[in-house]
Structure 1
Amino acid sequence: MATLVAGANAALTAENPGLDHVVVGMGWDTIPSNGPQAELVPFALMCDASGEAVSNDHLVFFNQLVSADASMTFVGDGDQEQIDVQLGLVPAEVTKIIFLAYVDPEFRGQGTFASVRSAHIRVATAENRELVRFNLGTDHLDSVTAMIFGELYRHRDDWKFRALGQGYSTGLAGVAKDFGIAL
């Protein structure tokens, strides 16, 4: 198992021949508060070569637990959230899958990632053998309302994982604008 830093990537299928199914786990802790508190909502979106979402049917979140092509599904609760990805079922036009969480502004007020601790993303086999992990930093998150944790992406015929930790102060709306999602 490799622990990555922001910007680092790791080969998944090239180093694990026959790997066609991964579980992407996202987790975090929050500091309890009586005021605005971060209620994080995990989200995964499939992007094409232009870097935009293929369509609104190529998303997985609490209102859409399975992607239209059935290659991504929310599963289990070993982490805060887990997303099962059947790599062999991912449509050919999908070049990367972005994994993020945003603060739900309708739950206990407009919180930020400032109260989030121990956030991580990990990629494991279907048998839960951890392949890579990225522990996100907790500095300067006072205005961050959405965070891209990492991405799975195609490199030639292989799949890789990149650790990102990219914050947005514009929440889900900012992510939607950058990736062409209709809200």
Structure 2
Amino acid sequence: MAINLSKGQKIDLTKSNPGLTKIFVGLGWDTNKYDGGKDFDLDVSVFCTNGAGKVDNEKNFVYFNNKENENGSVIHSGDNLTGAGAGDDEQIKVDLSTIPASIEKVAFTITIYDAVARNQNFGQVSNAYARIVNEADGQELIRFDLGEDFSIETGVVVGELYRHSGEWKFSAVGNGYKDGLDGLTRDYGLV
């Protein structure tokens, strides 16, 4: 049974699941009824950062145009352009055992493509979630439902895997960015 987290909660991942190495992070969402005339295209991006919280190699910024990090330990499933249907809209495969020692944190984000031009924001998105699944047996270990706390934001840091004392933990972040991907890439050191 999955552990449901609230914003700000942190939980051990590998210590309480001995032998866990391969997971996938599924992210999903729906869009509210919206009469803006343009489709929504939400995108998952992953920032693999050093201890200072910065991406020190562009290859460690994983998204639909760069589907894996420097050594292939973090792999993006590909871009879902509509988000239609039930279940995960995009997935990220992670091999915890092969993430380079220089990477201390793996941050999972969702942004709205071309949000300003399309006049879109996360106030028009519902049922957004992240879940961590054991790849070996398909068991959902952790789930974080983002809730409906956003209005003007065009990007969200959903959660972070991070190393602590040799183990991997997960933090349910849920922080919004009004300047979307631009703000995220700036804060993670890419611009």
- Shorter-chain TM range is over 0.9
Picking from 104, 114, 117, the partner of 2:113 is 104
Counterpart of 1:116 in structure 2 is 125
Q: Which amino acid aligns with 1:40?
A: L
Picking from 159, 162, 186, the partner of 1:153 is 162
The answer for unaligned runs of 5 or more in structure 1 is none
- The answer to whether the 8 A contact 2:115-2:154 is kept is no
Distance (Å, rounded) in 1 between the aligned partners of 2:123 and 2:152: 8
Distance (Å, rounded) in 1 between the aligned partners of 2:64 and 2:109: 13
Distance (Å, rounded) in 2 between the aligned partners of 1:85 and 1:45: 13
User: Structure 1 residue 6 and structure 2 residue 15: aligned?
Assistant: no
User: Which secondary structure state, in structure 1, belongs to the residue aligned with residue 59 of structure 2?
Assistant: coil
With over 3 angstroms needed to count, the CA separation of the structure-2 counterparts of 1:117 and 1:18, relative to structure 1, is same
Picking from 124, 139, 144, the partner of 1:129 is 139
Q: Deviations over 1:83-102 (max 9, x none)?
A: 00011110101110000011
Q: Deviations over 1:85-125 (max 9, x none)?
A: 01111010111000001111179713101110000001110
- The answer to whether the 8 A contact 1:39-1:107 is kept is no
- The answer to whether the 8 A contact 1:37-1:110 is kept is no
Q: Work out the number of aligned pairs and report it.
A: 181
User: Structure 1 residue 138 and structure 2 residue 184: aligned?
Assistant: no
Distance (Å, rounded) in 2 between the aligned partners of 1:106 and 1:118: 19
Counterpart of 2:188 in structure 1 is 179
Counterpart of 1:94 in structure 2 is 103
Distance (Å, rounded) in 2 between the aligned partners of 1:40 and 1:107: 13
Identity %: 35
Superposition deviation, residue 169 in structure 1: 0.5
Counterpart of 1:26 in structure 2 is 27
- Farther off after superposition, 51-60 or 91-100: 51-60
Alignment of 1:34-113 (within 5 A): 34-35=35-36, 38-75=40-77, 78-105=87-114, 109-113=118-122
User: Which secondary structure state, in structure 1, belongs to the residue aligned with residue 118 of structure 2?
Assistant: coil
Superposition deviation, residue 53 in structure 1: 1.1
Distance (Å, rounded) in 2 between the aligned partners of 1:145 and 1:107: 8
Output the aligned Cα RMSD: 1.8
Superposition deviation, residue 40 in structure 1: 1.0
TM-score (norm 1): 0.92
Superposition deviation, residue 33 in structure 1: 2.5
The answer for unaligned runs of 5 or more in structure 2 is 81-86
- The answer to whether the 8 A contact 1:37-1:111 is kept is no
Counterpart of 2:83 in structure 1 is none
Distance (Å, rounded) in 1 between the aligned partners of 2:126 and 2:115: 21
- The answer to whether the 8 A contact 2:75-2:93 is kept is yes
